[in-house]
Amino acid sequence: MSTQHPVNVNGMEWAAQRGMGTLAEKMGMQFLEFTVERSVATMPVEGNTQPVGLMHGGAYVVLGESLGSMSANLWAGPGRLAVGVDINATHTRSARSGLVTGVCTPVHLGRSMTVHEIVVSDDEGRRCSTIRITNLIKDVPLPEELTRPEG
33 assigned to active site: no
SS3 for 9? coil
Mode of pairing for the β-strands spanning 127-139 and 80-91: antiparallel
Four-residue CA torsion sign, 80, 81, 85, 90 = positive
Going by the DSSP 8-state scheme, the letter that residue 44 receives in this structure is E
Give CA separation, 135 vs 8, 43, 54, 88, 95, in Å. 21, 22, 29, 12, 27
Which is the catalytic residue, given 65, 124, 144, 150? 65
The partner residues of 118 in beta bridges, in order of sequence, read 104, 131
Residues 26 and 48: their CA atoms lie apart, in Å, by 10
Residues 83 and 65: their CA atoms lie apart, in Å, by 10
Mode of pairing for the β-strands spanning 39-44 and 80-91: unpaired
> Which residues are identified as catalytic?
65
